[in-house]
């Protein structure tokens, strides 16, 4: 663990010296953060049609009326809560995509800087090196995710309907944030680091590692369209 901690400190120090690697993740996350509010708040205000008057959200209204704790919400707020929860998965996947560039470059960067051979000459084991590389990408992801979640919750409380923010504090939402999100990030970042050790192009490693995101994105689309209804279990 001491060797992993030492390598992790080196990875984080390298990231502090090159903060520009987080710019794509921050820009994409900000765009993802505004999207649910555009759908739930801006579009009804521009069109003059309430969400509860649209037949497109009948599934959402029926779903939330059947859940305990949501029955006391008015129809408009219930649909807003449904939209905010659906986009929660997208908000979690955005930092994963940003951290993917860090993971993909982790070993390739060592090759290009010609520091990999001296590193491998030390007593460190392969799994220790890979663990430090994965953690070096996962720790920034956790920080970004908690930051986006705080902003998302605050914005929901500020502009959402009365009680809409409670959906982000439900067991289902917390499972998405603290179980599904970290597991998806861990799987994607591990894959990107392993691919990074086998190829010489960071973009190839990033693209291959991003494949883990596609099934989760597919579930998001299927759930929003009503094709699949995912319970907490």
Q: DSSP letters of the chain?
A: -HHHHHHHHHHHHHHHH-GGGGHHHHHHHHHHHHHHHIIIIIHHHHH---GGG-GGGHHHHHHHHTSTTTTTS-HHHHHHHHHHHHHHHHHHHHHHHHHHHHHHHHHHHHHHTT-HHHHHTSS--HHHHHHHHHHHHHHHHHHHHHHHHHHHHHHHHHHSPTTGGGGGGSHHHHHIIIIIHHHHHHHHHHHHHHHHTT-S-HHHHHHHHGGGHHHHHHHHHHHHTTS------
Residue with tokens 């505004």: 34
| Average pLDDT of span 213-232 | 72
Mind giving me the DSSP string for 180-205? IHHHHHHHHHHHHHHHHTT-S-HHHH
- pLDDT tens for 1-30 read 888 888 888 888 877 877 777 777 777 778
- pLDDT tens for 57-116 read 766 666 666 665 566 777 788 888 888 887 887 777 776 776 777 777 777 777 777 877
Closest Cα to residue 89, out of 227, 233, 226, 219? 219
51, 76 Cβ separation under 8 angstroms: yes
How much is the pLDDT for 93? Answer: 73
Which distant-in-sequence residues (6+ apart) come within 8 Å of 186 by Cβ?
134, 138
Distances (CA, A) of 201 to 102, 104, 106, 195: 13, 9, 11, 10
Mean pLDDT rounded to a whole number for the chain: 79
How much is the pLDDT for 230? Answer: 65
Q: With 80 as the cut, is the pLDDT of residue 52 above it? A: no
| Average pLDDT of span 147-175 | 86
């Amino acid at each position: 663990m001491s060797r992993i901690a030492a390598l992790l400190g080196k990875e984080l120090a390298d990231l502090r010296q090159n903060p520009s690697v987080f710019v794509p993740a921050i820009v994409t996350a900000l765009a993802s953060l505004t999207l649910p509010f555009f759908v739930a708040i801006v579009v009804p205000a521009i069109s003059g049609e309430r969400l509860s008057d649209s037949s497109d959200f009948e599934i959402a209204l029926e779903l939330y009326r059947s859940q305990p704790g949501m029955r006391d919400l008015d129809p408009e707020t219930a649909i807003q809560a449904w939209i905010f929860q659906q986009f929660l998965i997208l908000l979690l996947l955005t930092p994963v995509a940003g951290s993917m560039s860090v993971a993909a470059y982790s070993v390739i960067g060592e090759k290009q800087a010609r520091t990999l051979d001296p590193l491998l000459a030390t007593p460190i084991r392969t799994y220790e090196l890979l663990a430090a590389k994965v953690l070096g990408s996962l720790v920034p992801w956790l920080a970004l995710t908690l930051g986006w979640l705080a902003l998302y919750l605050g914005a929901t409380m500020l502009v959402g309907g009365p009680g809409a923010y409670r959906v982000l504090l439900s067991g289902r939402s917390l499972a998405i944030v603290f179980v599904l999100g970290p597991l998806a990030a861990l799987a994607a970042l591990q894959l990107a680091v392993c691919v990074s050790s086998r190829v010489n192009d960071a973009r190839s490693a990033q693209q291959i590692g991003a494949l883990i995101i596609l099934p989760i994105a597919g579930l998001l689309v299927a759930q929003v369209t009503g094709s699949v209804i995912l319970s907490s279990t």
